[in-house]
Chains A and B, each alone.
Chain A
Amino acid sequence: MNVEITGLSRRFGRTTAVAGVDLQAGPGVFGLLGPNGAGKTSLLRMMATAIPPTSGRLRLLGRDPRSYGPRREIRRRLGYLPQNLGYYPGFTVGEFVEYFALLKEVPAARIPAAVTAAVERTELGGKAKAKLRTLSGGMLRRVGVAQAIVNEPELLLLDEPTAGLDPEQRVAFRALLRELGTHATVVVSTHLVEDVGAACAQVALMDQGKVVFLGTPGALAARGEGYGTGDAPIERGYSAVLAAARS
């Protein structure tokens, strides 16, 4: 298992963002669903080693990230797209992706090819020399994905990756997710349930810091049979699970 989480909690002051989450994920695309404030981003940031958990146990890629050496090993094999992508407007697309390849300690000899591949896979080849300040929101999102995959990560964490993408790009992105999921664990946090239904093999639904559903998208859709809220089966399942959890 690339992700092993046991009783993981995270508090910010008096607010509990993640409350005793248990999860396991191997290679494939794993969807993380939930309403705003459910704790998805906090969980993802802990998995990205950006913040330490308050309590609980976290093992990533078979290593314990609390120690510096293993954490550094994890980070070399990790890709992360945060919900709010920060970027340097003066960098070109190629420079930005190369910058993160360097920070992820991709071997120097492999960097040019890795940057080229990441930029091409996100369909930014024609914009490789464009300054980031000139790009649209959707293109910036793709730049974020490119920097996340430049090191060919074994664990890829994507927070709202399809935000700002047009429908055509979202379809292409789902295909990319499926392809990445063949050899890596891809955790996608989103509130767009159709993305999960189309790309994910496993899905966890979070609410108020807890996992209230864990299963396949089909099982989630099945939970919505006979429930009225939502257009698609998986949306009805999503609503039904949340309603049950809150009742």
Chain B
Amino acid sequence: MTAGAPAAARPVPARPGRWPTAGRLLRLELRNNAMLWMLPVAAALFWFTTYRKAMAMPPLWNLRAPSMQTGALLAFVFPVAGAAAWTGSREGRRHTTDLVTIAARPRWARLLAAWAATTCWAMAGYLGCVAVLYGVTAQQATWGGPLWWPAVVTAASLPALSALGFAAGTLVPSRFTPPLAAVGAFFVLALSTELINGSQSYWQISPLVTKPWDIGPDAGMATFYPYLPDLPLAQVMFLAGLTVAVLGALALPGGPGGTWLRRPAAAITVAGLLAAGTAVALAGAGRLDAHGMIAIPALHDAASDRPLRYTPACSHTRVPVCLNPAYAGYLPATAAALAPVLAEVAGLPGAPVRVSQAAATYRQGVGNSVSIGLAGPDISGRPPVFRLVLLDQLPGPTMTTSALAAALRSSAGPAIVADVIGGGRSPSPAQRAVIAALLIAAGQPVHGPSPSSPPAGREPGMAPPVPAPGSPAYAAARRFAALPASARRAWLARHLPALRAGQIALARLP
């Protein structure tokens, strides 16, 4: 050790002091932060739990973005809370408490820099994951743009998770705190949705929630109407309030004489808690809107209820099938699936001149159940248009195009025929027979009393009852289907008004 001037033999180059103090402190923390080492873990978890599943979904923003919100949060909670707790417990674990306690810079500033570094790395990792998932989706999606609110909610969750983990590490500076904090945060987050009961639940404040809980991936929302920011706004408010409250609380034990710091810290903590509490109350006031999202009256903008403008993607068939452009990838399969049935009814009075995809409507049921269907009749307007709710708009496992086509043939096909022939939910035997005959003629197998079961959560009634095999109506249907197409069409052209009115008996069918 030298008592005089610095030795010239091994000089350490003095870097210019171009960084401000806070920037220097943050830079040091960034270079030595545990979250940096946890980034590969977070990225691997994101790939495993979120990216793979999102890529297995159709390239619809409204499917992938909400699933990313939930998945990314669960992927990042463990590494972020753990790394933050590790950083927060550093002074206690490494026995530097005396050294840092006697420093002039307030404890709060020191802790804030360490927390900020953890959060910055977590945010950088998360934004990288979002960029990859959104980038790939942007290349695959046929319409629409990124939904940012799901990404914002998860981004707001990271500082909160980091603050909670950091506070745990600061309060209990043990080497066991980081794993316990990570596991605890994971379970608290994962279990936070267990108590959700209906759309007016306070627990919807959980950042995992993007829509009515328990209905699974739901491509029906945010396609025909905007993605409502109501619940995300409340969630971001809650998370920001929580973050501010926890960080403010870190400054409360400022040592004797630090009143000047403790008072504003207490005020910040109270303000954060108030914001978080208000957000919870707002979430509790939410209700399921007709378009499948949670609307919160105090945060709701009526402009969000206006439908999105789009140019539909239409097939070049005799009866055009038009879909929302987001579903353009399904257009060939949909048009091909409906073509035989449409050919059977084309030109008949009341037959649809176009099939147009429509928005599903949502209604809250008991508990977390949600009824999803089509408001109003299937065929409406002049000239008549058949409004189609694509099965992929309904919650549940997503389908391949061939599976979708098969499902459409057995659900929308009978519905189109039944709407043209009439009879509603209680058709006469003759109406049943004609419906079945046209379906048979369209190459559609008719088995049992119902050609299809409505998907879970879907309102029944789309497909009409068909005659049971062996019944007189079934025999009449077989007979009518066996007629030449021109004969069927000629008979229907003459007798359809009477048939629709239920004035034709089964015996009068040719």
Per-residue A-contact encoding for B86-118, CB less than 8 Å = 1, 0 else: 000011001111111111110000100000000
- Using known A-B contacts A91-B32, A116-B14, A120-B6, determine if residue A84 contacts B95 with beta carbons closer than 8 Å: yes
Which stretch from B19-27, B307-315, B421-429 is at the chain A interface? Answer: B19-27
- Using known A-B contacts A66-B256, A91-B32, A125-B12, determine if residue A75 contacts B1 with beta carbons closer than 8 Å: no
| A141 vs chain B, min Cβ distance (A) | 10
- A: number of interface residues (CB 8 Å): 62
A45 to B99, CA, bound (A): 10
Which residues of B sit under 8 angstroms from A85, Cβ to Cβ? 95, 99
Residue of B nearest to A128 (CB): B12
A109 to B4, CA, bound (A): 23
Per-residue A-contact encoding for B194-237, CB less than 8 Å = 1, 0 else: 00000000000000000000000000000000000000000000
Which residues of A sit under 8 angstroms from B31, Cβ to Cβ? 95
Determine whether B28 belongs to the interface, using a CB cutoff of 8 Å to chain A: yes
A147 to B13, CA, bound (A): 18
Which residues of B sit under 8 angstroms from A147, Cβ to Cβ? 99
Identify which of A90, A121, A173 contacts B6 (C-beta below 8 A).
A121
Determine whether B11 belongs to the interface, using a CB cutoff of 8 Å to chain A: yes
A196 to B19, CA, bound (A): 41
Which label, helix, strand, loop or mixed, suits the secondary structure of the B interface?
A: loop
Determine whether B257 belongs to the interface, using a CB cutoff of 8 Å to chain A: yes
- B: number of interface residues (CB 8 Å): 44
A109 to B6, CA, bound (A): 19
Residue of B nearest to A93 (CB): B12
Which residues of A sit under 8 angstroms from B484, Cβ to Cβ? none
A102-B21 in contact (CB<8A) = yes
Which residues of A sit under 8 angstroms from B302, Cβ to Cβ? none
Per-residue B-contact encoding for A72-109, CB less than 8 Å = 1, 0 else: 11011010101011111111001100111011110011
Cβ-Cβ contact count across A and B, 8 Å cutoff = 143
B98-A120 in contact (CB<8A) = no
Determine whether A163 belongs to the interface, using a CB cutoff of 8 Å to chain B: no
B101-A50 in contact (CB<8A) = yes
A98-B102 in contact (CB<8A) = no
Identify which of A73, A108, A123 contacts B1 (C-beta below 8 A).
A123
Residues of A within 8 A of B (CB): 45, 48-50, 52, 66-69, 71-73, 75-76, 78, 80, 82, 84-91, 94-95, 98-100, 102-105, 108-113, 115-117, 119-123, 125-126, 128, 142, 145, 147, 169, 172-173, 175-176, 178-180
Residues of B within 8 A of A (CB): 1-4, 6-7, 9-17, 19-21, 24-25, 28, 31-32, 90-91, 94-105, 110, 255-260
User: Please, could you name 29 A-B residue pairs with CB atoms under 8 Å apart, sorted by A?
Assistant: A48-B98, A48-B102, A49-B102, A71-B257, A73-B104, A75-B102, A75-B104, A82-B99, A86-B99, A91-B32, A95-B28, A99-B25, A102-B21, A104-B104, A104-B105, A108-B17, A108-B20, A113-B17, A115-B12, A115-B14, A116-B6, A116-B11, A116-B13, A120-B12, A121-B3, A121-B6, A123-B1, A123-B7, A172-B1
